[in-house]
Amino acid sequence: MASIYHPLWAGLAVRPERGLAMLATSKIVEKNAYEVALENFDLAANALELEEGVRAMIKYPERILSVSVPVRMDNGRIVRYEGFRVQHSTMRGPAKGGIRFHPNVTVDEVKALATWMTWKCAVVNIPFGGGKGGVTCNPKTMSMGELERLSRRYATSILPLIGPEKDIPAPDVYTTPQIMAWIMDTYSMNKGYPVHGVVTGKPISLGGSLGRNEATGRGVFYTTLSSCEHLGIPVKGARVVVQGFGNAGSIAAMLMHGAGAKVIAVSDTKGCIFNDKGLDIPAVIAFKERTGSVVRFPESHKIAPEELLALECEVLIPAALENAITEANAAAVRARIVAEAANGPVTPEADRIFDSKGVFLIPDILCNAGGVTVSYFEWVQDENHLFWDENDVNKRLEKVMTRAFRDVLKIHSERNVNMRLAANMLGIGRVAEACKIRGLYP
């Protein structure tokens, strides 16, 4: 079978090694992400004392589209995949959110991810609502041709929902700049003219933004620096552990390494590596690009996934998937700061354990919002035919992230609530405010 690796897939890419071993290599306990999202909504709505009517208007997805995606495979067979696009909210602007191609995609997972996008865009105060899409498939087993046909057919199926003023997809797990280019092309061919602003996370040559590929990891870095400053932890020499050495995790690790921190352990689906003196992160990135995994990196030894999460460190960055830290393993965590690069890696039960242990959590809707923030910059540039240089993008991102961090911290301190609740109160409060001002139609 043809490899699906392609230079355009760099960073956000599916690389050949990634796949389903995830469930075998870590103790991820199944939990419905949407139930978690609803539970966290209720906690914030109660703390904000939101009226019932406003809750009814902003809590649930506005639209859920379920699509059947038939694809002709290379061997001539037609295989049908299931796909979804969920618009959770367009209260503050067009729906915005990635598309995930993964075997575990369910409608509830997409609903949860769309819900988090709504609060996330509000936390960083960009004029978007929340959306998400997904196809239940395993891109690892598909050729480039099959993947292109899948992407184009899925894009055609969700075409009535998407558009630069309506709903703007982007890459998520196992989707890439190349897939965004196919979606942009499919949409444009149907319209009869090029529409760059229909997706973000595109290749640079197609209206993508400089800095987008690194934006999520960079946002994790900025919020981690702010947390260290808040807690009086020197970044130089701080021990950092990263679960999930993909786009978000590896960039965050590289920037922390560059700032003088000591990244002592990282992992991917194949396993975890450790060096108590600190790993040479640029070399680990190059090694992974060459071999497909961090495992067997020289000057490191292999440890078990549960050992990685239990390492004593200043910063733990879960950057893989949902439900990595649950009530089963949260008590073993010995980090001062947990920076949620992934969406939903810590369950509410684990949150409660962290609270009792005094772990400082940077919640996902704040921590990983750098990606959607630079997606917003990309959309602004596309719609206005502008090209910002990378320095400009990074400076704007830093400003947005540090301001959002300050806003969340203020609620955390003034209301004496944990950082997750503070971030949800900020995001949900802003959406509720927009809802009240807009009123109920008709």
Q: Which residues bind ligand NAD (CB under 6 A)?
A: 12, 18, 22, 25-26, 172-174, 216, 243-249, 267-269, 305, 319-321, 341-343, 368, 371
| Nearest in space to 147 (alpha carbons), one of 189, 105, 178 | 178
Q: How many angstroms separate the CA atoms of 73 and 100, rounded?
A: 20
- CB 249, min distance to ligand NAD, A: 6
- At 357, list the tokens: 């242990």
Per DSSP (E only), the strands in 346-402 are 360-362
Which residue type does 69 have?
V
- CB 171, min distance to ligand NAD, A: 6
- At 36, list the tokens: 């978690």
Q: How many angstroms separate the CA atoms of 308 and 86, rounded?
A: 34
Q: How many angstroms separate the CA atoms of 204 and 306, rounded?
A: 39
Which residue type does 320 have?
A
Cβ atoms of residues 369 and 116 within 8 Å = no
- CB 263, min distance to ligand NAD, A: 15
Which residues on neighbouring strands pair with residue 346, listed in sequence order?
325
Q: Which is nearer to ligand NAD, 105 or 417 (CB)?
A: 105
- Is residue 96 flagged as an active site residue? no
Q: Which is nearer to ligand NAD, 89 or 343 (CB)?
A: 343
The residue nearest ligand NAD at its CB is 246
Which residue type does 106 have?
T
Q: Which is nearer to ligand NAD, 28 or 421 (CB)?
A: 28
Q: How many angstroms separate the CA atoms of 5 and 288, rounded?
A: 13
**Residues in CB range of 439: below 8 A, 6 or more apart:** none
Q: Which is nearer to ligand NAD, 332 or 440 (CB)?
A: 332
Q: Which is nearer to ligand NAD, 40 or 267 (CB)?
A: 267
Question: SS3 of 385, please?
Answer: coil
**Which residue is catalytic, options 59, 111, 120, 132?**
132
- CB 25, min distance to ligand NAD, A: 5
Which residues on neighbouring strands pair with residue 81, listed in sequence order?
69
Q: Which is nearer to ligand NAD, 267 or 424 (CB)?
A: 267
- If residue 171 lies in a helix (H) or strand (E), which one and from where to where? strand 167-171
Give the count of beta carbons closer than 10 Å to the beta carbon of residue 324. 25
Q: How many angstroms separate the CA atoms of 167 and 441, rounded?
A: 20
- CB 412, min distance to ligand NAD, A: 22
Q: Which of the residues are catalytic?
A: 132
